[in-house]
């Protein structure tokens, strides 16, 4: 073998292990003019330049298509607008993706072993010296003649780039990662996977992958498309049906992988996932803004990103409940509680109905009304707000019954004779003598006096009846119903035996102070499902123009007048996609509730923290969806994981959990939609080895049986754990943060315990943050979920650990946020030795 080898890195570029048969420290080879690495970089630069030239042409083509789309709109016909909408949208997306790809277009190269190509399996790359060379990049680039120049990283032909290992080279001799700045290749790093076949290939590298892991964090997550590892790639390309369940310790790339999977699914199954949409759900808004750049950087702007607190339009959660309240609000028992709250009488509902029919007073009392309300609810079957019509019918039935008990039509006859005077009465008596029906005041045939039909008509038009109906069966909003539960008596009625009595006062008090927690949002969604949509206002009348043969494109061809066409939806001439239209606020000003958006694929990050009620909320958005669930049970703040698991199963199955006659859950049915693919990620790319050791000690306390992930990067920087008096913790935390500002260039997280009435309050945190630069974030332990910082300061680990039954797991999350430096301030020497392992 005569391959040249230089500057080997200790790890691999994108495959997990060092190549066989290479010498990590062989000095740079030269050809007498430039070092080997420079020559290799120069050669790659020539190729990259060619790819950029072609990308430039493709961008110009996309812009021309965009211009053509706009030009077509000038024709102004309805049909052309629809075409334009589609064309412009497609062209704009294409142009956008091409613009995005401009940064780091080509990042990988594969040199493959020579082989025979069957007629139907032509090479995906170029043949150089008898070997196929494939370049992998952010998007696919083809020459004008349609020959492949760069392969999209999501295409099957790019799979080898991520999957090949020395143990299983998959025909790859050498894998090369190109590191670029803008259009310029600045570094390359090789993995030699099949040394025996490497004749004539040089191998260079300087550990750029590990170096890239140590890079400064800028506050938002970046894509990892050039360095995806094999175990991660398997998740990204996992089957599109059913559920992909990804587990892994902090920093193993679960979030990164889930986002790359979205880009992959949208690329490979655009029709299926692009039209119905992909929803990515994270724990809180800080997290969603942390990850929001990843998908656009991969050229995918169409996925919807939401936090658990803003899935229901019109409310945004801003607080976490105490563990006790979260447990109550999040438990599935709330389904029954809310159902009772919905079926209870509305606040201010009258307790007597009194109408007058032809001089007879007919009454329904409270007991009767309560029974009637229960009957309507029984029959309403989950759509309370649309049941008002049925409520009116049930009331009329009951009034007719009551009227019957008062003498019924008999009483009316007498009354009518007494009142029967005037011209109309005269006419009616003549008609009656001829055996014909009566007329009403407008001269139209009237229902027979004293008949049920006439009774209903007379009662329906009475103010007393219509006002009663509105107050007795009001159109209710989820917010009304939940707010009404701040009344302790009402809450007690709703709770039945489903909630622990001890928690009721705290629950009522929490809703009295506002509906604003993450768990409240799931309750509102549940109520929304139970209440159903209010009756829709009548559909807009079709404009006469629609049926008028003389109206062409909105103009009357006889008169020349413009004729407004009500079918002309205003949305049509906006540049929106169907997903954006679907996503528009459901509650529009006129009170109409539009359909809840449903998605074709849902990604749930930090899934270990979801309560059963939150799973139900997600399940309603993905009744036909496939799922990617990302979790680390060891980081779970949720106590009853089993109940949450059952609710997750029900959500993923898209159905209510099946129950047998005795109310026990039945095992879920298996289908393409419910099939599960489970994966585990095992390498920690975030923490240095030194920080990972501290978090492993916390994990051992929290969950002795759990295995920490393997950290790969040593920093030589030992975490600092200082003991300070409890009353000095805040000052010490502030000082430690200021100290770190001088030691790291990137972001710093100052992570404090959850707020209590008198400590670590919002005001406290504001004081701590006062005057610090933007790269410092002061946040509580739950807000820190999923985030990472160059350096982290953890204040009072002993408090974090004791704040909830899952406190140790929450602490585990906090200590695993930092990439480079970690400082912990504790008032307890015990905690100091625990964290440092002394």
Q: Which is nearer to ligand ATP, 164 or 376 (CB)?
A: 164
Least distance (Å) from ligand ATP to the CB of residue 654?
A: 26
Rule CB under 6 A: say whether 632 interacts with ligand ATP.
Answer: yes
Q: Which is nearer to ligand ATP, 255 or 304 (CB)?
A: 255
Strand boundaries in 415-574, DSSP class E: 551-552, 555-556
**What is the helix (H) or strand (E) element at residue 273, kind and residue range?**
none
Q: Do 694 and 719 meet the contact criterion of CB atoms below 8 Å apart?
A: yes
Distance, in Å, from the CA atom of 149 to the CA atom of 129, rounded to the nearest integer, reads 17
Q: Which is nearer to ligand ATP, 47 or 264 (CB)?
A: 264
Question: Per the annotation, does 249 bind a ligand?
Answer: yes
Nearest to 615 by CA among 652, 666, 667, 665: 652
Q: Which is nearer to ligand ATP, 85 or 300 (CB)?
A: 300
| β-pairing verdict for 148-152 and 106-112 | unpaired
Tokens matching residue 461? 């038009």
Cα-to-chain-centroid distance, residue 445: 59
Rule CB under 6 A: say whether 252 interacts with ligand ATP.
Answer: yes
Q: Which stretch binds ligand ATP (CB under 6 A): 35-43, 245-253, 330-338, 722-730?
A: 245-253
Distance, in Å, from the CA atom of 795 to the CA atom of 736, rounded to the nearest integer, reads 10
Residue selected from 97, 112, 204, 228 as contacting ligand ATP according to rule CB under 6 A:
228
Q: Which stretch binds ligand ATP (CB under 6 A): 119-127, 225-233, 236-244, 346-354?
A: 225-233
Residue selected from 95, 185, 256, 778 as contacting ligand ATP according to rule CB under 6 A:
256
Burial 437-461 (b: 16+ CB within 10 A, else e): ebeeeeeeebbebbeeebbbebbee
Residue whose CB is nearest to ligand ATP in the complex, by number: 253
Rule CB under 6 A: say whether 9 interacts with ligand ATP.
Answer: no
Question: Per the annotation, does 248 bind a ligand?
Answer: yes
Q: Do 445 and 437 meet the contact criterion of CB atoms below 8 Å apart?
A: yes
Nearest to 811 by CA among 819, 822, 154, 821: 822
Alpha-carbon distances, residue 152 vs 60, 296, 299 (angstroms): 20, 16, 11
Residue selected from 358, 596, 686, 765 as contacting ligand ATP according to rule CB under 6 A:
686
Q: Which is nearer to ligand ATP, 190 or 632 (CB)?
A: 632
Q: Would you give the end-to-end CA distance of the chain in angstroms?
A: 51
Q: Do 52 and 104 meet the contact criterion of CB atoms below 8 Å apart?
A: no
Rule CB under 6 A: say whether 231 interacts with ligand ATP.
Answer: no
Residue selected from 12, 148, 255, 519 as contacting ligand ATP according to rule CB under 6 A:
255
Residue selected from 169, 251, 285, 622 as contacting ligand ATP according to rule CB under 6 A:
251
Rule CB under 6 A: say whether 691 interacts with ligand ATP.
Answer: no
Least distance (Å) from ligand ATP to the CB of residue 712?
A: 10
Least distance (Å) from ligand ATP to the CB of residue 127?
A: 30
Instruction: Give the count of alpha carbons within 13 A of 526, CB side only.
Output: 27
Rule CB under 6 A: say whether 695 interacts with ligand ATP.
Answer: no
The sign of the dihedral angle between the CA atoms of 58, 63, 66, 67 is negative
Q: Which stretch binds ligand ATP (CB under 6 A): 130-138, 227-235, 300-308, 558-566?
A: 227-235
Rule CB under 6 A: say whether 636 interacts with ligand ATP.
Answer: no
Q: Which is nearer to ligand ATP, 251 or 534 (CB)?
A: 251
Q: How many helices (H) and strands (E) does the chain have?
A: 31, 24
Least distance (Å) from ligand ATP to the CB of residue 508?
A: 35
User: Bridge-partner residues for 79, per DSSP?
Assistant: none
Considering only residues 785 through 824, tell me which ones interact with ligand ATP, judged by CB under 6 A.
786, 788, 816
Q: Do 231 and 682 meet the contact criterion of CB atoms below 8 Å apart?
A: yes
Residue selected from 473, 685, 760, 831 as contacting ligand ATP according to rule CB under 6 A:
685
Distance, in Å, from the CA atom of 124 to the CA atom of 264, rounded to the nearest integer, reads 19
Q: With CB under 6 A, what is the number of residues at the site for ligand ATP?
A: 21
Nearest to 302 by CA among 94, 138, 56: 94
* Residues counted in the chain: 838
3-state secondary structure of 604: strand
Question: Per the annotation, does 251 bind a ligand?
Answer: yes
**What is the helix (H) or strand (E) element at residue 418, kind and residue range?**
helix 409-419
Rule CB under 6 A: say whether 229 interacts with ligand ATP.
Answer: yes
Q: Which is nearer to ligand ATP, 402 or 794 (CB)?
A: 794
Q: Do 201 and 3 meet the contact criterion of CB atoms below 8 Å apart?
A: yes
Considering only residues 549 through 578, tell me which ones interact with ligand ATP, judged by CB under 6 A.
none
Rule CB under 6 A: say whether 227 interacts with ligand ATP.
Answer: yes
Residue selected from 248, 323, 622, 653 as contacting ligand ATP according to rule CB under 6 A:
248
- Three-state secondary structure readout of 751-789: EECCCCCCCCCHHHHHHHHCCCCCCEEEEECCCCCCCCE
Q: Which is nearer to ligand ATP, 288 or 816 (CB)?
A: 816
Q: Which is nearer to ligand ATP, 447 or 746 (CB)?
A: 746
Q: Which is nearer to ligand ATP, 255 or 827 (CB)?
A: 255
Question: Per the annotation, does 253 bind a ligand?
Answer: yes
Q: Which residues bind ligand ATP (CB under 6 A)?
A: 213, 221, 224, 227-229, 232, 248, 250-256, 632, 685-686, 786, 788, 816
Annotated binding-site residues for ATP read 248-255
Annotated binding-site residues read 248-255
């Amino acid at each position: 073998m005569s391959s040249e080898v230089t500057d080997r890195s200790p790890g691999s570029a994108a495959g997990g292990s060092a190549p066989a048969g290479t010498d990590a420290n062989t000095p740079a080879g030269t050809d007498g003019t430039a070092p080997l690495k420079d020559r290799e970089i120069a050669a790659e630069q020539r190729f990259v330049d060619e790819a950029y030239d072609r990308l430039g042409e493709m961008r110009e083509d996309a812009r021309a298509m965009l211009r053509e789309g706009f030009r077509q709109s000038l024709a102004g016909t309805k049909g052309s607008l629809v075409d334009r909408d589609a064309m412009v949208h497609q062209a704009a997306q294409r142009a956008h993706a091409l613009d995005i790809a401009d940064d780091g277009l080509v990042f990988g190269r594969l040199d493959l072993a020579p082989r025979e190509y069957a007629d139907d399996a032509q090479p995906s790359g170029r043949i150089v010296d008898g070997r196929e060379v494939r370049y992998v990049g952010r998007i696919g680039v083809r020459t004008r003649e349609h020959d492949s120049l760069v392969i999209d990283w999501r295409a099957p032909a790019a799979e080898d780039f991520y999957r090949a290992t020395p143990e299983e080279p998959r025909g790859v001799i050498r894998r090369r990662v190109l590191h670029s700045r803008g259009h310029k290749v600045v570094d390359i790093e090789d993995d030699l996977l099949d040394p025996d076949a490497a004749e004539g290939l040089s191998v260079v590298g300087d550990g750029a992958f590990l170096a890239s892991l140590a890079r400064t964090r800028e506050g938002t997550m970046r894509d990892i498309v050039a360095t995806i590892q094999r175990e991660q790639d398997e998740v990204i390309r996992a089957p599109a049906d059913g559920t992909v369940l990804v587990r892994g310790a902090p920093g193993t790339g679960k979030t990164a992988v889930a986002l790359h999977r979205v880009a992959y699914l949208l690329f490979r199954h655009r029709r299926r996932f692009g039209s119905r949409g992909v929803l990515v759900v994270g724990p809180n808004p800080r997290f969603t803004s942390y990850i929001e750049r990843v998908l656009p950087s991969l050229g995918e702007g169409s996925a919807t990103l939401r936090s658990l607190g803003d899935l229901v339009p019109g409310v945004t959660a801003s607080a976490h409940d105490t563990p006790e309240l979260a447990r109550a609000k999040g438990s599935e028992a709330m389904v029954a509680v809310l159902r009772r709250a919905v079926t209870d009488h509305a606040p201010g509902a009258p307790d007597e109905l009194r109408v007058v029919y032809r001089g007879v007073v007919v009454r329904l009392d409270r007991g009767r009304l309560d029974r009637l309300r229960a009957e309507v609810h029984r029959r309403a079957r989950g759509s309370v707000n649309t049941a008002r019509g049925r409520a009116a019918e049930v009331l009329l039935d009951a009034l007719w019954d009551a009227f019957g008990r008062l003498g019924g039509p008999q009483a009316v006859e007498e009354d009518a004779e007494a009142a029967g005077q005037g011209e109309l009465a005269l006419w009616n008596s003549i008609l009656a003598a001829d055996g014909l029906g009566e007329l009403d005041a407008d001269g139209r045939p009237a229902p027979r006096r004293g008949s049920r039909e006439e009774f209903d008509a007379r009662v329906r038009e009475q103010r007393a009846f219509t006002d009663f109906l509105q107050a007795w069966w009001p159109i209710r909003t989820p917010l009304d119903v939940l707010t009404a539960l701040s009344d302790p008596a009402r809450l007690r009625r709703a709770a039945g035996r489903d909630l622990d009595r001890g928690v009721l006062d705290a629950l009522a008090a929490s809703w009295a102070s506002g509906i604003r927690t993450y768990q409240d949002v799931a309750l509102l969604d549940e109520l929304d499902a139970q209440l159903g949509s209010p009756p829709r206002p009548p559909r807009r009348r079709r404009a006469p123009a629609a049926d008028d043969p003389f109206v062409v494109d909105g103009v009357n061809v006889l008169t020349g007048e413009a004729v407004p066409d009500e079918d002309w939806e205003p949305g049509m001439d906006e540049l929106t996609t169907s997903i954006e239209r679907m996503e528009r606020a459901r509650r529009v000003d006129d009170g109409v509730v539009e359909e809840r958006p449903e998605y074709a694929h849902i990604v749930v990050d930090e899934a270990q923290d979801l309560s059963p009620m939150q799973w139900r909320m997600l399940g309603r958005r993905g009744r036909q969806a496939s799922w990617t669930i990302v979790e680390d049970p060891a980081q779970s703040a949720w106590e009853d994981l089993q109940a949450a698991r059952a609710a997750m199963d029900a959500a993923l199955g898209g159905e209510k959990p099946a129950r047998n006659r005795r109310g026990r859950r039945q095992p879920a049915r298996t289908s393409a939609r419910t099939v599960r693919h489970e994966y585990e990620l095992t390498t920690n790319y975030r923490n240095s080895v030194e920080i990972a050791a501290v978090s492993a000690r916390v994990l051992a306390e929290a969950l002795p049986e759990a295995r920490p992930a393997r950290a790969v990067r040593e920093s030589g920087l030992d975490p600092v754990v200082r003991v300070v008096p409890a009353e000095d913790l805040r000052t010490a935390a502030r000082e430690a943060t200021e100290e770190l500002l001088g030691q790291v260039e990137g972001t710093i997280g100052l992570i404090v315990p959850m707020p209590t009435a008198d400590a670590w309050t919002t005001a406290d945190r504001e004081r701590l943050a006062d005057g610090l630069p933007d790269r410092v974030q002061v946040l509580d332990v739950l807000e820190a979920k999923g985030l990472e910082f160059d350096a982290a300061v953890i204040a009072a680990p002993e408090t974090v650990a004791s704040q909830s039954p899952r406190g140790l797991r929450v602490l585990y999350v906090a200590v695993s946020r930092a990439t480079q430096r970690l400082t912990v301030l504790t008032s307890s020497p015990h905690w100091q030795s625990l964290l440092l392992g002394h």
